[in-house]
Amino acid sequence: MKKTTRAHSNIAFIKYWGKKDEDLRLPSNGSISMNLSNLYTTTTVEFDESLSKDDITINNEKDGKKIAKVVSHLDRIRALKNTTMKARIVSVNNFPTGVGLSSSATGFAALTTAAILSLGMELTEKEMTVLARLGSGSACRSIPTGYVEWKAGETTDDSYAVSLYPPSHWDLVDIVALTSTKEKYVATTDGQKTAQTSPFFKQRMAHIEKKIEDCKLYIKEKNFSAFGKLMEEDALEMHAIMFTSHPPLLYWLPETILIIKKVLEWRKEGIAAYFTINTGQNVHVICQKNDASKIEALLREIPCVMDVITNTPSRGSYEIEDHLF
Ligand code: PMV
């Protein structure tokens, strides 16, 4: 059966950084995110008895490390279904890959959903998130709708993502200021491996539960200033851990700092905008709907900003009818 799905990227407000089990991708801590309307991957999967090997095309490319990761994930799904059938897969992102916009999350969420549907398997949403997590940790958060919590868990079956609220709960806007499409110099999976070498890692773990509870409360109450402050602090805390890991990790470019400074200046002028950054140089500016067009215009005025991508809260992953082959 040929099946096509779409999965949206997600931005974490409380970040996932570090694993307590590398093979099972069990995170050291839980995380909270929102799915993003304008950043997504579309994937078509068809299992076919006549294929002798998987035929995979990702963003028009047919080889490389990414393909090997997809084959490993397919093997996981084949083992669940007890089949050896190979698959034809075409996958495209509507945004640049490897620049801090969570293409591995969208990629593995869309792949998991399409492969499961294509094999006619019936999994619960929770089981789908567990499976997507094994492909790429944050992919589990791109399966449920809207505002999502990934519960860290202690075993593979209890490390899963669940929707906290639908997209309509709160009209937050995430404006990505794209300053460079250069691919990150260290893949997130490799970067995560050294998180525990930072002297600040233990410190972060000691208060992370409280941060998660506070974040959930601020989202529930739609308390934007408390939420923004917490989110910004968490992004800086995660990057502080990266800076102080062995070897150090520095995903920022001069443009990243320039935009951070602008956001801080705007806030002093009374504009309610806060920033967050993943593994990459591009900054996500978070605001509320009423301020979005003003902030988008301000970002566009900055000479190093190549483009802005404006996102509202989105649903998770879903089936579409338009196949890619
Ligand atoms: O799921 P991964 O391995 O791509 O890691 C995601 C890490 C961050 O984007 C930096 C944080 C997060 O929680 O999304």
263-306 pLDDT per residue, tens: 999 999 999 999 999 998 999 999 999 999 999 999 999 999 99
The pLDDT of residue 121 is 97
Q: Is the C-beta atom of 138 inside 6 A of ligand 1?
A: yes
Residues 109-121: what's their mean pLDDT?
98
Interhelix angle for 65-81 vs 125-135, to 10°?
A: 140
Q: How far is the CA of 148 from the centre of ligand 1 (A)?
A: 14
Residue 99, pLDDT > 90, answer no
Closest atom of ligand 1 to 11 CA is 14
Q: How far is the CA of 15 from the centre of ligand 1 (A)?
A: 7
Q: Is the C-beta atom of 12 inside 6 A of ligand 1?
A: yes
Q: Taking the model in full, what pTM does it have? A: 0.96
pLDDT in tens, 43-80: 999 999 999 999 999 999 997 888 999 999 999 999 99
Asked whether the beta carbons of 67 and 138 are under 8 A apart, the reply is: no
What whole-number distance in Å separates Cα of residue 200 and Cα of residue 179? Answer: 29
Q: How far is the CA of 165 from the centre of ligand 1 (A)?
A: 21
Asked whether the beta carbons of 174 and 36 are under 8 A apart, the reply is: yes
Q: Is the C-beta atom of 16 inside 6 A of ligand 1?
A: yes
Buried b (16+ CB within 10 A) or exposed e, 228-266: bebbbebbebbbebbeebeeebebbbebbebbbebbeeb
Q: How far is the CA of 53 from the centre of ligand 1 (A)?
A: 30
First to last CA, the chain: 13
What whole-number distance in Å separates Cα of residue 37 and Cα of residue 167? Answer: 10
Structure tokens belonging to residue 22: 């590398």
